[in-house]
Amino acid sequence: MTDDITTTAPARIALITGGNRGLGRSAALALAERGTDVILTYRSNEDEAHAVVAEIEAIGRRAAALRLDTTEVETFPDLVEAVRSTLGGWGRDTIDHLVNNAGLTAEGSISEATVADAQLLFDVHFKGVFFLTQALLPVLADGGSIVNLSTGLARFVGAPSYAIYASMKGAVEVLTRYLAKELGARGIRVNVVAPGPVMTDFAGGYIRASAEAQQQFGAATALGRVGEPDDIGPVIAAVLSEEMHWVTAQRIEASGGTLL
């Protein structure tokens, strides 16, 4: 006769860039509710980041906040060392999930856009995603998963002022497929989540602040309203989950059916 032995698998760990607000915060909390520990990064607004850490800890999960500017590629090795140090304190040496969420926009039509606008959006939305992912590959566990954030604007044309932003996100969607192909040998899945109009601080919080914009964009969706951050965070958590283990190199649009 043998004694029953109950073992508990260690909690999964996710790193989320731009996790101090908006979609990143929602994803962090959704993952924590599902039993995942979270390392989040922030560029500014340190108080916000630590408030999210406190929310996650109140759920009963571990959390840490690390500063990161995704335009400063030269600082990525330092971030990796900070991640390793955090993981060491948690008795781990790898993360299971990476969410490339950090972002911003610089508006301007094609005729008005500047080289500086294009460089900023390239640095944040493509170069930053590419080289941060590269830097973190040694600490991303085999069998892990990556979610890159894109936008509905990579499928449908919105205001002309988003031409460069949408183009960079289109490049991220292509990169996602290449990452999925290269990392598949390690069992790592890579997918894109593409939100539609959402009431966040993005673009200066324009949609959130404008009832007219909410009505306009909501009328363009099958579900009749614009999105909230908490419409997107659980989608990210779901795509990262084990239930999605056979899904990779896919674009999952979470837009409420915008401009079908």
Catalytic residue set: 165
CA distance 260 to 253: 12
**Residue that the structure tokens 């419409």 belong to:** 231
**Residue that the structure tokens 């911003």 belong to:** 104
CA–centroid distance for 138 within its chain: 19
| Range 155-164 burial, b when 16+ CB lie within 10 A, else e | beebeebbbb
Query: Residue 99: helix, strand or coil by DSSP?
Result: strand
Rounded alpha-carbon distances, angstroms, from residue 87 to 42, 55, 91, 106, 134: 18, 19, 6, 35, 18
